[in-house]
């Protein structure tokens, strides 16, 4: 496999497609076109309208500027909001909770949950903590590491951050992840309540 193909595969696996939004918009447009076609055919056959007669729809559109200003403004605001949302979906990259690892000739994609679990286990073992004392959440650009040591076991945030950063550096993740560390001592929590 070529490097271009691997980059394409990685992009496809780490970014979500906009298929759902596209299908919803196309169904709405197709539904409106089918409704207009049915109404025109019913009108040409001399039958009554199914939803609204074509003349009534055209009259309503022609008289739209004469409608109460509040109704026109509210309709315009709704259309503008829908337009902004569709433009945002078209431009913004959809991210899946995954990261690319390593700089080898192979594409390695790892779920953020797996990264969080691995990072929590490394921090727990390195700092000699009890199982369940480390909670990690990995996002697209950041990893939150929360440590709750046992009473009497004092830790510093810099220790936790150093261990987490060394583990993440070994993964060679793309994009890089910034580590935020918190240490919640039992004595501190009891003193606040």
pLDDT digits (tens, 9 = 90+) for 86-121: 888 888 777 777 887 776 677 777 888 898 999 999
| pLDDT: which is higher, 91 or 145 | 145
Where does the chain have alpha helices with state H? 3-14, 19-44, 54-62, 69-91, 112-126, 157-171, 186-192
Q: Considering its fold, how many domains does the chain have in total?
A: 2
Measured distance CA(35)–CA(98) in Å, rounded: 42
pLDDT band at 193 (very low <50, low <70, confident <90, very high): very low
The answer on pLDDT for 2 being more than 80 is: no
Closest listed residue to residue 118, CA positions, set 160, 168, 172: 168
| In a shared domain, residues 76 and 25 | yes
The answer on pLDDT for 63 being more than 80 is: yes
Domain that residue 46 falls in: 3-95
Q: Which of 36, 63, 95 represents a domain boundary (last residue)?
A: 95
What pLDDT does residue 121 have? 93
**Could you tell me whether strands 94-95 and 142-147 are parallel, antiparallel, or unpaired per DSSP bridges?**
unpaired
pLDDT band at 171 (very low <50, low <70, confident <90, very high): confident
The answer on pLDDT for 16 being more than 80 is: no
CA 171 to chain CA centroid, nearest Å: 23
Measured distance CA(23)–CA(91) in Å, rounded: 17
| In a shared domain, residues 83 and 112 | no
What pLDDT does residue 34 have? 94
């Amino acid at each position: 496999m070529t490097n271009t193909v691997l980059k394409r595969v990685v992009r496809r696996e780490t970014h979500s497609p906009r298929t759902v939004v596209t299908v919803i918009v196309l169904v709405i447009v197709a539904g409106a076109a089918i409704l207009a076609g049915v109404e025109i055919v019913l009108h040409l056959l001399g039958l009554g309208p199914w939803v609204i007669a074509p003349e009534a729809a055209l009259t309503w559109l022609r008289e739209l500027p004469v409608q109460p200003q509040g109704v026109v403004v509210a309709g315009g605001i709704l259309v503008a909001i829908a337009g902004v949302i569709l433009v945002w979906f078209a431009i913004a990259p959809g991210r899946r909770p995954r990261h690319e690892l390593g700089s080898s000739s192979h594409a390695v994609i790892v779920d953020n949950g797996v990264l969080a679990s691995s990072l929590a286990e490394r921090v727990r073992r390195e700092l000699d903590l009890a199982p369940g004392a480390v909670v990690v959440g990995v996002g697209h650009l950041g990893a939150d590491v929360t440590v709750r040591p046992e009473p009497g076991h004092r830790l510093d945030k810099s220790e936790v951050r150093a261990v987490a950063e060394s583990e993440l550096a070994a993964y060679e993740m793309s994009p890089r992840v910034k580590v935020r560390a918190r240490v919640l001592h039992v004595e501190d929590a009891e003193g606040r309540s």
